[in-house]
Amino acid sequence: MIYHKFDVVIVGAGGAGLMSAMQLAQGASIAVVSKLYPTRSHTGAAQGGVAAALGNLEEDHWKWHMFDTVKGGDYLVDQDAGEVLAREAIDAVYDLEHWGLPFNRTPDGKIDQRRFGGHSRNFGEGPVRRSCYAADRTGHMILQTMYQQSVKNQVQFFNEYMMIDLLINDGQACGIVALCLRDGTIHTFHGKTIVLATGGYGRAWRITSNALACTGDGMAVAYRRGVPLEDMEMYQFHPTGLYKIGILLSEAARGEGAYLLNNEGERFCIRYAPTMQELAPRDMVSRFIVQEIAEGRGINGKDYVYLSVAHLGKEQIDAKLPDITDFARNYLGVEPYYEPVPIQPTAHYAMGGIPTDVEGRVVMDEQNTVLPGLYAAGEVACVSVHGANRLGTNSLVDLIVFGRRAGKHIGAKWLPESDFAPLPSDPDAAATEMVEGLLSRTTGETQESIRAELRDMMMEYVGVVRNDERLQTATTKLVELKERFKSIRLMDRTRTFNTELMEVIELGNLIECSEATIAGALARKESRGAHYRTDFEKRDDVNFLSHTLAYRSETPGAPDLRYKPVVITEFQPKERKY
């Protein structure tokens, strides 16, 4: 066994992981374990901005931001957490600026801000300029800035180490087991604290904006060890992915004034959401698009509509939206200066994940019982600040606010009061058995068909529009895939940089995450936020104003489901209108 010992082991080197590392860089011994080089993390793909009620261009208040977040999340947001998100976004954005983030600027030299979906002034009166941004590469600049600070603070990285197990002993988290890709060795990281910051699992769907690395590793590893997954059925489809490819075209385009057009050249959003129009929240705009297509108003009768920026003019396009217009040119051969861009909804973001409290501590049940030593932050976690639908820019807010809070809590409260829990005996036994099993098996099917069938199934049956029949079909298929996965075979049985081994472990993780997603969706007999069912079209606050907790069971496809009430402090649930 190769053994390492650190006060804090942070898994994942995106925005949330690095933000917590920043808070701990002085004093504690910390390791950041990442299956990618840190600058490859998916935070870097975020485009449009990070919301904070700075009020640099017009009046704004954190309470308006909080309200928008709660309403945008269709009242499944825990409002104590929503308040923290909106209040602390402001200082967290100033932190980023102080670390050198190159925000775009106003004429008087302040951080520039622009409109974004679902963000409003005075509790829904109309759009507000709240999104702080660096062109359309805000996530890239956040990731680079945090990595730069990590270099400055000499954070110790274990790059290209993939977590494959989480160690819990006697009710306390005490380590992780990771595969070193470079030489195939298994490493045990003994930690007083484990922070999971491993991101989402969009690769479970065929059309996705997510990187190939977004395979739900943290969620799956925790789920296998008895940690519940919360609200996994709440999965966001972003309205504007490049047709067939899924690459994201930021909402920043619509924030800057882009239109969505159907085959009649009509700005159809106005019909559905007269006030916010194209800037209605993502779950709604995705449904508008699906509806237009279903009613025969897709372009050329196909399953896409247009995003048009041409009327914004070259200058504004180049200054504000250079990357995303390049994506349209590069991948579809479309020139956005003159031509509309074909788009369709793309699997984008997990509102659900590992349940945590507002300090980032992982909680295990309806009473929010803390699992000592385990934290989670970012997309892997469910605080819950996004509820049933995340607002644009709030993902980056989540990373910086809760990554920061987790780090601060660990440094100020947890480390001074705690000891290392001993490792279980043979800590790497399960991980080693899995890896050796995969490397030695010589019969069985290879990964491709299982992966393709999983992604097709999730797209067909667990997408923007759901119902009982589709979700039953998905369950049956999931159980079949889970069984087939048990006898999966590698073509590559060597140890040096075995990426097929990595991909197969990732596929297993996607299957676990999909299981919790489907089961939660099947049991939630209502429509709320991103979870839309044709057989239960209305939101049902009497029965479902609560969070799903899915616990893995021995029966494939059938996790145990429990429910936890939503925290409501200020804003009573109302019908969502935009």
Residues forming beta bridges with residue 146, ordered by sequence position:
none
Closest approach of other proteins to the CB of residue 47, in Å: 9
Identify which of residues 446 and 543 has a Cβ nearer to other proteins in the complex.
Answer: 446
- Please check whether residue 549 is in contact with residue 60, taking contact to mean a CB–CB distance below 8 angstroms: no
The Cα–Cα gap between 578 and 576 comes to 7
SS3 string, 226-271, reads CCCEECCCCEEEEEEEECCCCCECCCHHHHCCCEEECCCCCCCHHH
Q: Which of 132, 129, 133 is nearest to 57 (CA)?
A: 129
Q: Measuring CA to CA, how many Å separate 24 from each of 88, 409, 469?
A: 18, 10, 49
- Nearest approach, Cβ of 7 to other proteins (angstroms)? 23
Helix (H), strand (E) counts: the chain: 17, 22
Cα 59 from Cα 121, distance rounded (Å) = 8
- Tell me how far apart the alpha carbons of residues 11 and 163 are, in angstroms, rounded to a whole number: 7
Name which of 67 and 201 has its Cβ closer to other proteins: 201
CB of 45 to other proteins, least distance (A): 5
Q: DSSP E strands: which ranges in 149-285?
A: 156-159, 161-169, 172-180, 186-196, 229-230, 235-242, 259-261
Sign, CA torsion 357/359/364/367: negative
> Which of residues 233 and 506 has its CB atom nearest to other proteins in the complex?
506
Q: How far apart are CA 185 and CA 191, in angstroms?
A: 19
Cβ 195 to other proteins, closest distance in Å? Answer: 21
Based on C-alpha coordinates, what's the Rg of the chain? 22
- Closest to other proteins by CB, 108 vs 575, is 108
Q: Which is nearer to other proteins, 157 or 402 (CB)?
A: 157
* DSSP conformational letter for 391: P
Residues in the chain: 578
- For other proteins, the closer of residues 104 and 473 by Cβ is 104
Least distance to other proteins, CB of residue 451, Å: 8
Q: What are residue 176's DSSP bridge partners?
A: 166, 189
Residues near other proteins (CB under 8 A) are 36-37, 39-42, 44-45, 54, 94, 97-100, 102-111, 134-135, 137, 140-141, 144, 148-149, 151-152, 182, 211-213, 243, 247, 323, 327, 330-334, 339, 342, 446-448, 451, 490-492, 494-500
259 near 288, Cβ under 8 Å? no
Q: Name the pairing type of β-strands 186-196 and 370-376.
A: parallel
DSSP single-letter state for residue 147: H
Question: Rounded CA gap, 138 and 235, in Å?
Answer: 22
Give the integer Cα–Cα distance in Å for 383 and 545.
Answer: 16
**Catalytic member of 129, 282, 528, 576:** 282
When the beta carbons of 155 and 382 are compared against other proteins, the nearer one is: 155
Q: Kindly tell me which of 323 and 541 has the beta carbon lying closer to other proteins.
A: 323
Smaller CB distance to other proteins: residue 103 or 536?
Answer: 103
Residues 356, 377: contact at Cβ < 8 Å?
A: yes
Q: How far is the CB of 379 from other proteins (least distance, A)?
A: 15
**Phi, then psi, of 262 in degrees rounded to 5:** -95, -170
Q: Active site includes 114?
A: no
Shortest distance (Å) from residue 331 CB to other proteins: 7
> Taking every pair of C-alpha atoms in the chain, what is the biggest distance, in angstroms?
67
Taking the least distance from each CB to other proteins, the nearer of 366 and 500 is 500
> b vs e for 280-298, b when ≥16 Cβ sit within 10 Å of the residue's Cβ?
bbbbbbbbbbbebbeeebb
Minimum gap (Å) between residue 342 Cβ and other proteins: 6
Residue 108: CB minimum distance to other proteins, A: 7
DSSP H helical segments within 25-183, as ranges?
62-72, 79-98, 138-152
Closest residue by Cα to residue 216 from 338, 382, 441: 382
C-beta of 309: minimal distance to other proteins in Å? 15
- Nearest CA-CA partner of 216 in 454, 8, 481, 514: 514
Query: Which two three-digit tokens encode residue 526?
Result: 């209502």
The residues assigned a catalytic role are 282
